[in-house]
């Protein structure tokens, strides 16, 4: 098995690049079918993790669309519900549009819920969600995920946009933490 060391941790390949690409082609097929007659949908990619997924997915999208990138602030205000992050970078017109949110991974779903709640304030016609990876065993929320690339076990992974302490985003394959 191909292994890699990032700082103090070792990771082994769990999803090779070719498998990721097949998953993405299938996701694109479903999205193409569902949006073929839609009026210029807007893809919203959530940085940093989704940059590779977004680039590869969009190459297979065959309808006219727009793409923008948003980031959740690292600023964490305090409220009774825990950390409140702000979505930065919204300048596109979202009102009345069909939105497709692109996430690299949905784990607990806390991030996704914050994103969807924030976007709802701009009154889009519809928000759909596509994630490359989904950890069903960790998911705590009720937001519907319309397009899931792959369900994965509740293990820590890196590569293909995902990081450990900022490292590993550049890797073409996905690696899982080797438990010692
Ligand atoms: P959630 O809010 O718990 O769903 O987590 C979402 C965010 O946590 C993702 O957008 C990732 O940035 C990060 N994350 C969750 N699981 C992993 C993982 O296994 N590896 C790297 N980052 C992860
Ligand atoms: Mg992310």
The closest ligand to the CA of 105 turns out to be 1
* Annotated catalytic residue within 8, 34, 37, 107: 107
pLDDT tens digits for 105-132?
Answer: 999 999 999 999 999 999 999 999 999 9
Structure confidence at residue 85 (pLDDT): 76
Q: Point out the residues of the chain with pLDDT beneath 50.
A: 79-80
pTM comes to 0.94
Strand 157-158, strand 147-151: pairing:
unpaired
Structure confidence at residue 86 (pLDDT): 83
Structure confidence at residue 87 (pLDDT): 87
- Domains for the chain: give ranges and CATH numbers: 17-152 (3.40.50.2020)
> Burial level of 166, CB count in 10 A (0-12/13-18/19+)?
exposed
Structure confidence at residue 26 (pLDDT): 98
Ligand 1 atom nearest to 138, measured from its CA: 3
Around ion ligand 2, which residues have CB less than 5 A away?
49
Q: Of 107, 100, 135, which Cα lies nearest the Cα of 28?
A: 100
For the Cβ of 154 lying below 6 angstroms from any atom of ligand 1, the answer is: no
Within 8 A by CB and 6+ apart from 133, the residues are: 104, 105, 106, 149, 150, 151, 152, 157, 174
H/E element, 93: none
Residue 105: CB atoms within 10 Å = 23
């Amino acid at each position: 098995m191909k292994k890699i060391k990032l700082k103090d941790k070792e990771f082994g390949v769990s999803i090779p690049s070719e498998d990721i690409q097949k998953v993405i082609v299938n996701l694109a097929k479903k999205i193409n079918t569902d949006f073929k007659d839609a009026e210029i949908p807007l893809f919203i990619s959530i940085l940093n993790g989704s940059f590779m997924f977004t680039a590869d997915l969009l190459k297979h999208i065959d309808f006219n669309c727009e793409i923008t990138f948003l980031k959740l602030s690292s600023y964490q205000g305090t409220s009774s519900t825990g950390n409140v992050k702000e979505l930065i970078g919204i300048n596109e017109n979202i009102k009345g549009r069909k939105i497709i949110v692109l996430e690299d991974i949905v784990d607990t779903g806390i991030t996704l819920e914050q994103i969807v709640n924030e976007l709802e304030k701009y009154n889009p016609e519809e928000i759909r969600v596509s994630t490359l990876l989904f950890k069903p065993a960790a998911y705590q929320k009720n937001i519907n995920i319309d397009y899931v690339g792959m369900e994965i076990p509740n293990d820590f992974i890196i590569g293909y946009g995902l990081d450990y302490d900022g490292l590993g985003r550049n890797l073409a394959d996905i690696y899982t933490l080797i438990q010692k």
